[in-house]
Chains A and B, each alone.
Chain A
Amino acid sequence: MRRLTGILGLTVAAVAALFLFALKQDVRQMEDELRAAHRDILNQQEAIQVFETEWSYLNQPARIADLAKRHLGLEPISAARIVRLDDLPLRAASIKPASKQISPSDTPNDTRLIPTSSDTKAGSAQ
């Protein structure tokens, strides 16, 4: 009985030692991988930083303004082109739904987008 216990104990110890060794090897390998990954992350971060710097450089306002002018024909917006929604006049029709028919005066060559107050008066008179 005592001998059996001893042998069993030794076997368990040996097996445990073996697995411990294997585990340690695993850990070491994973640590190597982690170190490599960290190195990689740093390299990537450095590359990202270089790209971000280049992006900022390519976005110099003077360069963008020049590109926009040459290729897009864009120009700074003037205050006259900015209109609030509230400032848009209502259509005459929405004031008086009954007169929502196309009046003879609305000829196709009338290119005004927004009816003026005189239009409104003309529309409601009909």
Chain B
Amino acid sequence: MNRRVVPPSRPNCYPVIDTLPPRKFAGHGARVQLDGSAARALETGRTRLLAAGLVFALAFTVIGGRLIDLTLLSQNSEPKIAGGPTAPQRETGRADIVDRNGVLLATTLPTASLWANPHKVLDPYDAAVQLNTALPELSHAEILAKLTSEKGFVWLKRGLTPRQQYAINRLGVPGLQFRQEPRRYYPHASLTAHSVGFTDVDDNGLAGIEQSFDSKLRGAVKPLALSIDLRIQHVLSQALTDTMAEFKAIGAAGIVMDVRTGEIVAMTSLPDFDPNRPGDAPADARFNRASLGVYEMGSVFKIFTTAMALDGGIVTLDDRYDTSKPIRIGRFTISDFKPKNGPLSVPEILMYSSNIGTARIAMDVGALMQREFLERLGLMLPSTVELSEVGHPMMPSPWREINMLTISYGHGMAVSPIRLVSAVSAIVNGGILRPATLLRQPANTEIPGTRVISEQTSHQMRQLMRLVVTHGTGKKANADGYMVGGKTGTADKLIGGKYARDARVASFVGAFPMTEPRYAIFVMVDEPKGNASTYNYATGGWVAAPAVRRVVEQIGPLLGVAPIRTNPEDEESELLYVRASAKAEKVAAN
């Protein structure tokens, strides 16, 4: 700053003398007249001080005002609703699992676990005696061994019931402590055991959805909704249990699938187990026959053989095959269970479940196309359902001619029921294969899929499958009003490399209503024994088909499938076109 240029701030100031020595203040309150540059410097300082003082005064006033406002006048200026702290969320460390309607299938509850500090137990022997009265399932010796150990911490029993906790508290044994621990609980016990799975005592998922969604369940608070409908699950489970008892079978499996979305509405594998006590269950009960088990499905595979031949334009419904003589290839002979005389049409081959006829169709189709078609249907790969228990299909390698022939009617290739149901869903739903899922899909959304057969073939297959139920081997599956269509299957089991005559798997796979399929259903009974009521037959038509009828009759109303009241003669005549195949153009027009 150049002083000389700056004009004097006051009119009465004197000319500037730079060398003037600074004067000292004479005393308090005395007004001192300063001259020249010193006076101006002082003036500047004073102004700055004033400005700073004003700023501070303003700040203090604001603070003071706010203080008074907060303490004395706070009532009105405070917000009415606190924005900060919200209500706490209960954290269990593992989200619930519910069915598609929100029914609780798995939850975490706080339970007390009993532990002891052996150093603080005064009389281990007496304590063990007393504890044995409250916890009879633990032996006296076992408790004593724990209470006399050198450790400072031993678990005695985890996951006590409130009653047990009360009983132990009443004993008043010193050195015993409770610890609150979350514990997984399954209110529906064995009903959904195979799909939901179970956890270990430390809440690690060990099977089913609990295992495959372990990490997701850990972090989540919102329950995980499965595609399972508990009511349908119950009906299916009940029917299978009854069937198993009736035919003294060693096991059974069943699946109900929504053909439009691939959602598994019910999945049962018997024998089942209580997931609340998975350790008590034998391995056979924990084995999921519906997804992990692979079986030679028998005649239900004829659906695929017929579909591939129709879709590939290899045969039409008019074509006839001679089934009067068994086929001999090398040391194998393919014969029919109930031989029919004369040439059978393609619909009749399926209807009467002719092995010879189906094998002859397969010959026309060829091994390459057969293999390619089954691959397209997803039967060559394990299911993509959200379970770790999925069975790998078993198939021949190389794919010889004899394999081609036996696979055409379901022998020589083993697939899991879940894959089979997905494939059949695709056959009947208009030809779109969608992955099977155990999770509820949002309503009214189109689930993407891949086309495996044409709409036209799917329509023909629906008619053929309906024909099997009205006139063929699956008559006992005909649930009144629900237009069930499907195919029976009876496969001899391979035991020690040979097909056993008396051990077989009886099955039925179908869908309803056949006019516009909504649900596919599969029932399989493992090693049924025929009885007097079935004239000692233990085939799919006698064992599995009646179970399907019982299930469909009950779940139809629950699933909101409107019964179809058709004039029997109308349906008859329509099916007769298919059967007699004399008017194939009418079928195409439908």
Residues of A within 8 A of B (CB): 12, 15-16, 18-20, 22-23, 34, 38, 41-42, 45-46, 49-50, 52-57, 59-62, 65, 76-80, 82, 84, 87
Contact = CB atoms under 8 A, between A and B. Distances in A.
A60 B109 contact: no
Given A23-B74, A53-B107, 14 more contacts: A16-B68, A19-B71, A20-B67, A22-B71, A41-B88, A53-B109, A56-B188, A61-B233, A62-B234, A65-B238, A78-B480, A79-B481, A79-B556, A80-B563
Nearest to B550: A76
Contacts of B563: 79-80, 82
B516 to A, nearest CB: 16
A60 B187 contact: yes
Interface string B209-247: 000000000000000000000110111001000000000
B110 A46 contact: yes
19 contacts: A12-B68, A16-B68, A20-B67, A23-B71, A38-B85, A38-B87, A42-B88, A49-B109, A53-B185, A54-B187, A56-B103, A56-B104, A56-B105, A59-B103, A61-B191, A61-B233, A79-B479, A79-B553, A79-B563
A77 B187 contact: no
B103 A46 contact: no
B67 to A, nearest CB: 5
Contact of A53 (B71, B104, B554, B565): B104
A80 B191 contact: no
Q: Which 3 residue pairs spanning A and B have beta carbons closest together?
A: A79-B481, A19-B71, A61-B234
Nearest to B74: A23
Contacts of A54: 187
Interface string B15-44: 000000000000000000000000000000
A16 B71 contact: yes
B104 A16 contact: no
A46 B480 contact: no
A41 B85 CA distance: 13
Interface of B: 64, 67-68, 70-72, 74, 85, 87-88, 90, 92, 103-105, 107, 109-110, 185, 187-189, 191, 230-231, 233-235, 238, 479-482, 553-554, 556-557, 562-563, 565
A58 B185 CA distance: 14
A1 to B, nearest CB: 16
A45 B191 contact: no
A32 to B, nearest CB: 13
| B contact face: mostly helix, strand, loop, or mixed | mixed
Contacts of A61: 191, 230-231, 233-235
A8 B87 CA distance: 45
A53 to B, nearest CB: 5
A41 B109 contact: no
A38 B89 CA distance: 9
Contacts of A49: 90, 92, 107, 109
A60 B189 CA distance: 9
Contacts of A46: 90, 110
A46 B475 CA distance: 52
Which of A41, A49, A84: most chain B Cβ within 10 A?
Answer: A49
Contacts of B67: 16, 20
A43 to B, nearest CB: 9
B535 to A, nearest CB: 27
A60 B231 CA distance: 9
Contacts of A59: 103
A22 B103 CA distance: 51
Q: For B68, B70, B110, B187, which residue has the most chain A Cβ atoms within 10 angstroms?
A: B187
A101 B234 CA distance: 52
Contacts of A82: 481, 557, 562-563
A16 B64 contact: yes
B214 to A, nearest CB: 21
Contact of A84 (B70, B87, B188, B562): B562
Nearest to A75: B554
Contacts of A53: 104, 107, 109, 185, 187
Nearest to B110: A46
A77 to B, nearest CB: 5
A62 B187 contact: no
Nearest to B85: A34
Contact of B480 (A52, A76, A79): A79
A78 B552 CA distance: 10
A50 B188 contact: no
Contacts of B71: 15-16, 18-20, 22-23
Contacts of B234: 61-62, 65
A62 B238 contact: yes
B192 to A, nearest CB: 11
Contacts of A45: 90
A60 to B, nearest CB: 6
Contact of B191 (A55, A60, A79): A60
Nearest to A58: B187
A78 B238 CA distance: 17
Contact of B72 (A19, A52, A60, A78): A19
Contacts of A18: 71
A75 B70 CA distance: 70
Nearest to A34: B85
B87 A52 contact: no
A71 to B, nearest CB: 18
A76 B71 CA distance: 70
Contacts of B188: 56-57, 60
B231 A76 contact: no
Nearest to B230: A61
Contacts of B230: 61
A53 B276 CA distance: 13
A65 B278 CA distance: 26
A20 B72 CA distance: 9
A80 B479 CA distance: 11
Contacts of B482: 79
A42 B90 contact: yes
Contacts of A62: 191, 234, 238
A108 B392 CA distance: 69
A78 B85 contact: no
B175 to A, nearest CB: 28
A57 B231 CA distance: 14
Contacts of A55: 104
